[in-house]
Amino acid sequence: MIHTPVLTNEVINYLNPKPNENFIDCTFSGGGHAISLLNKTEPNGRVLGIEIDKEILEGLGAEFDKFKSVGRLILINGNFKNLKDIIGISPFSKNETDESYDISGILLDSGLSSWHLEKSKRGFSFQKNEVLDMRYDSKESLTAKEIVNKWPESEIERILREYGEERHSRSIARAIIKERKRKPIITTFNLVDIIHRAVPWVHGKGKIHIATRTFQALRIIVNQELENLKEVLPQSIEILKPGGRLVIISFHSLEDRIIKFFFKREAQNNRIKILTEKPVRPTREEIMINPRARSAKLRAAIKI
């Protein structure tokens, strides 16, 4: 079964795929966006799909086999921060004149996949009792469990404040330190219980779960999400051919801010034209079908 991605119609609208054009999906996940691109670029268009989590690629269904068998879908297990290196080992040839490739569009959907929340068993969801891991790439060493059990209180407070935008970061960090002196913090439910005790009751009745921001901060740090985003953006512009389009979906203000200022800077230097004056948001209908889409923001630009 293909994962249903967010903002699919909007992605296709801004990438504007044509027959026989080539695209890169930097965050392949369940392949929903890629399938739409492959259907729009028949008969010979190709998609290079990059996925950081090897388990996701190993679990893909047979619906992708027909595209792989004819060379229209190329899948690579890797981190999109290494985009130039990845495309360098792909079948796409470089234009020696301007260093671009025959790539008409690049998509980057930075959202946490449903698979990671529901099936990975790595502690991404505060609604499941799992070991605090939170790694997309199991080859990496840093885990959320290590952070909450070994990092100093000041660092835990900082990442909750800066990467989770958690206003109760100090209270939560203090509670984490107090608890780990008593016993190691191993599971997601251990951490949720600590947050419940640290956050004043009246503030636990908001629109989002009180553990949301803490889990976001830990996931961002474990996977170096903001650093990876900063690295891939300039590579994307370099790789695109003139007239190629870059579409990015983000899910929290920290990512969106990075994308917004990157686009602004590149536009001022006449390297891109911004296609979205303001971020595009999902429709009410899409949010009703898929509540996880509610925080999605799409920005798009075209290479000059």
Task: Name the residue ranges covered by the structural domains of the chain.
Answer: 8-115+226-303, 117-223
The pLDDT of residue 292 = 83
Task: Indicate the pLDDT class of residue 245, thresholds 50, 70 and 90.
Answer: very high
Average pLDDT over residues 179-187: 98
d(CA 131, CA 303): 43
Q: What is the mean pLDDT of residues 243-261?
A: 97
What is the separation of C-alpha 55 from the centre of its chain, rounded to a whole number of angstroms? 16
- At 202, the pLDDT band (50, 70, 90 cuts) reads low
Torsion sign, CA atoms 13, 15, 20, 26? negative
Residues 144-155 pLDDT 10s:
999 999 999 999
* Confidence band for 205, pLDDT divided at 50, 70 and 90: low
pLDDT at 206: 63
Residue 1 has pLDDT above 50, yes or no: no
In Å, what is the CA distance from 279 to each residue of 60, 133, 220? 31, 32, 22
Architecture of domain 117-223: Orthogonal Bundle (1.10)
- Is the pTM of the predicted complex or chain greater than 0.75? yes
Asked whether the beta carbons of 3 and 26 are under 8 A apart, the reply is no
State how far the Cα of 17 lies from the Cα of 108, in Å rounded to an integer. 15
Task: Give the residue-averaged pLDDT of 59-65.
Answer: 90
User: Which parts of the chain are beta strand (E)?
Assistant: 23-25, 47-51, 73-77, 105-109, 245-250, 272-274, 297-303
- At 204 the pLDDT is 54
Spatial separation of the C-alpha atoms in residues 198 and 175, rounded to whole Å: 6
Give me the pLDDT at residue 131, please: 98
pLDDT classification of 275: cutoffs 50, 70, 90: very high
In this structure, how many other beta carbons lie within 10 angstroms of the beta carbon of residue 99? 10
Q: pLDDT digits over 184-200, tens only?
A: 999 999 999 999 999 97
- What is the spatial distance between Cα 176 and Cα 192, in angstroms, rounded to a whole number? 10
Give the integer Cα–Cα distance in Å for 96 and 142.
Answer: 39
Q: Which helix (H) or strand (E) holds 62?
A: none
Average pLDDT, the chain: 94
Q: Which residue has the tokens 């920005």?
A: 299
Q: Answer yes or no: is pLDDT of 277 > 90.
A: yes
Please name which of 136, 108, 110 lies closest in space to residue 122, comparing C-alpha atoms.
136
Task: From 60, 51, 55, select the one nearest 80 (Cα to Cα).
Answer: 51
CATH superfamily of the 8-115+226-303 domain: Vaccinia Virus protein VP39 (3.40.50.150)
Tell me how far apart the alpha carbons of residues 90 and 214 are, in angstroms, rounded to a whole number.
38
pLDDT digit string, tens, across residues 66-114: 999 999 999 999 999 999 999 999 988 887 777 789 999 999 998 888 8
Contact 115, 30 (CB under 8 A): yes
Q: Comparing 8-115+226-303 with 117-223, is the CATH topology the same?
A: no
In one letter, which amino acid is 221?
A: I
Q: To the nearest whole percent, how much of the chain has pLDDT over 70?
A: 97
The continuous run of DSSP H or E covering 114 comes out as: helix 114-118
- pLDDT band of 3, cuts 50, 70, 90: low
Query: Is residue 25 helix, strand or coil?
Result: strand
Cβ-based neighbour number of residue 14 at 10 Å: 22
pLDDT digits (tens, 9 = 90+) for 26-52: 999 989 999 999 999 999 999 999 999
